[in-house]
Amino acid sequence: MAITDDVLVIGGGLAACTAALAAAETGARVRLLAHKKSTLRQASGLIDVLGYSGSDGPFANPFENIDSLPANHPYHVTGKDGIRDGLRIFDEAVGTAYQGGHTDTNALVLTYGGTVKPTARYPESVAPGLASASGDMLLVGFDSITDFDAPVAAQHLDAAGVPFSARGITIPFPEKFRADAKVTRFAKALDRNESVSGGTVRSALADAVAEELDGEARVGFPAMLGDDHDEEVRDELAERLGVPVFEVPTGPPSLPGLKLEDRLFDALDDAGVHISSGNPAVDYEAEDGRIETVLVDQKSRLTPYEADQIVLATGGLVGKGIGSDRESVTEPVFGCRIPYPEDRYRWSESEAFGDHAFARFGVVPDDELRPTDEDGEPHFENLRAAGGVVGGAHVAHEKSASGVSLATGAVAGRLAGEEAQQ
């Protein structure tokens, strides 16, 4: 015996969660096999679909610009229906915690660098800070959270020509922590509304900001306004200040990412998806072109997991779903083909933001998202791929990382679920 399911999804990020939910919708028995803590905690928590293509963009509507993408882009495999299905699964999983589902049009969300990012879905805590909304803006940074420099971010916004004025200030946080305290420590202090001289953390913070407020219609903070009681924290600050407050998503470890991880894993639980996490899939056994067993390195010993259908959603170069050394680029679990220029110096461009070949590295999917070999034939009839491990998209440039994960996850998961029950 091995641990046996209909569909085995390998990965723990957005694509894997989406694939597992899509497969579970078909009625299949699904297991998510995740290695470490989900990489969602390193992510901004924003759900982008498509903002740029080559030199075009930013796009107001991602769906109207799919055709401008290169021929081997995964969106051409999933189609617009796949993207919509991915967004539907996401919207159902996160409920009212996210906004943006009322329209196809991109929202322009403020980043911690003071740029704006075209985004399809965003946490509700971010909503009052949209660049498309009107109202002058005060950005508040803290001298102890060095990731977010509010004056610089405000200047960037001004320089970008947003239709409102933005001003940034840096103030001390009302409670003093060790120099390298994490955003989670600030969030907990606000959650618990800890006592400080002159009141509580929330009231003292509101007082300090109120003193600086000069007629601005909204106030933005780095994303640390509470964890378990975030809505309560935002409401209290807004009430004391008399204007809406919002969060600006920050770098890792990111609270919006951590919260998204919790929501998606709760949704997996509700859908009855089994979850095994903590150990990596490292190898497999196949017979007649079908994967029979996936082998998981469970602390020095291999544990067999069996499933009728497999979805590979292990991520890209950063997530380690794609490996590389000086000689080659590989997909480490199943050895699927990843095309790359033989000359290593053609893997990247000299400009930091150039059109790097490595950004598009990944497996080559057929029309069912199965990774293919040199002849265009699927490596295995029951293996599909989703998310960052799929090649062809330059997600950082296109602002399409989440959309590609949702669309490929939805399609690969649904096909796997349906196939498993044939």
Q: Toward another protein, which CB reaches closer, 84 or 274?
A: 274
Task: Annotate each residue in 318-357 with x if it binds another protein (CB under 8 A) or - if it does not, as one string.
Answer: -xx-------------------------------------
How many other CB atoms are found less than 10 A from the CB of residue 342? 8
Give the total of residues touching another protein (CB under 8 A): 42
| Beta carbons of 385 and 401 less than 8 angstroms apart | no
Q: Which among 285-293, 361-369, 398-406, 410-418 is the span making contact with another protein, rule CB under 8 A?
A: 285-293
Q: Toward another protein, which CB reaches closer, 182 or 356?
A: 182
| Beta carbons of 292 and 4 less than 8 angstroms apart | no
State whether residue 235 is helix, strand or coil.
helix
User: Does residue number 292 form part of the binding site for another protein (CB under 8 A)?
Assistant: yes
Q: Which among 18-26, 88-96, 149-157, 297-305 is the span making contact with another protein, rule CB under 8 A?
A: 297-305
Q: Toward another protein, which CB reaches closer, 72 or 279?
A: 279
- The per-residue b/e assignment along 114-132, b for 16 or more CB within 10 angstroms, e otherwise, is bebbbbbbbbbbbbbbbbe
Q: Toward another protein, which CB reaches closer, 255 or 410?
A: 255
| Beta carbons of 331 and 373 less than 8 angstroms apart | no
| Beta carbons of 346 and 330 less than 8 angstroms apart | no
User: Does residue number 156 form part of the binding site for another protein (CB under 8 A)?
Assistant: no
Contacts of 9 (CB under 8 A, 6+ apart): 16, 19, 20, 23, 30, 31, 32, 33, 310, 311, 313, 413, 416
User: Does residue number 410 form part of the binding site for another protein (CB under 8 A)?
Assistant: no
- Using CB under 8 A as the binding rule, the residues of this chain from 242 to 271 that contact another protein are 252-253, 258
Question: What does the alpha-carbon distance between residue 274 and residue 164 come to, in Å, rounded to a whole number?
Answer: 48
- Hey, what amino acid is at 189? A
User: Does residue number 196 form part of the binding site for another protein (CB under 8 A)?
Assistant: no
Question: What does the alpha-carbon distance between residue 191 and residue 212 come to, in Å, rounded to a whole number?
Answer: 24
Name which position in 275, 317, 357, 418 contacts another protein (CB under 8 A). Answer: 275
User: Does residue number 192 form part of the binding site for another protein (CB under 8 A)?
Assistant: no
Q: Toward another protein, which CB reaches closer, 242 or 335?
A: 335
Name which position in 172, 242, 278, 289 contacts another protein (CB under 8 A). Answer: 278
CB of 306 to another protein, least distance (A): 7
CA-to-CA dists, residue 304 to 33, 132, 296, 417, angstroms? 12, 51, 6, 20
Cα radius of gyration (the chain): 23
CB of 10 to another protein, least distance (A): 13
Q: Toward another protein, which CB reaches closer, 102 or 301?
A: 301
Name which position in 1, 96, 161, 325 contacts another protein (CB under 8 A). Answer: 1
User: Does residue number 229 form part of the binding site for another protein (CB under 8 A)?
Assistant: no
User: Does residue number 41 form part of the binding site for another protein (CB under 8 A)?
Assistant: yes
Q: Toward another protein, which CB reaches closer, 105 or 303?
A: 303
User: Does residue number 3 form part of the binding site for another protein (CB under 8 A)?
Assistant: yes
**Pairing between strand 274-277 and 30-34?**
parallel
User: Does residue number 184 form part of the binding site for another protein (CB under 8 A)?
Assistant: yes
How many other CB atoms are found less than 10 A from the CB of residue 327? 8
User: Does residue number 277 form part of the binding site for another protein (CB under 8 A)?
Assistant: yes
Peptide linkage before 253 cis (omega within 30 of 0):
yes
- Computed from CA positions of residues 368, 397, 124, 39, in that sequence, does the dihedral angle turn out positive or negative? positive
Residues in touch with another protein (CB under 8 A): 1-3, 36-37, 39, 41-42, 177-178, 180-182, 184-185, 188, 252-253, 258, 274-279, 282-283, 285, 292-293, 295-296, 298-304, 306, 319-320
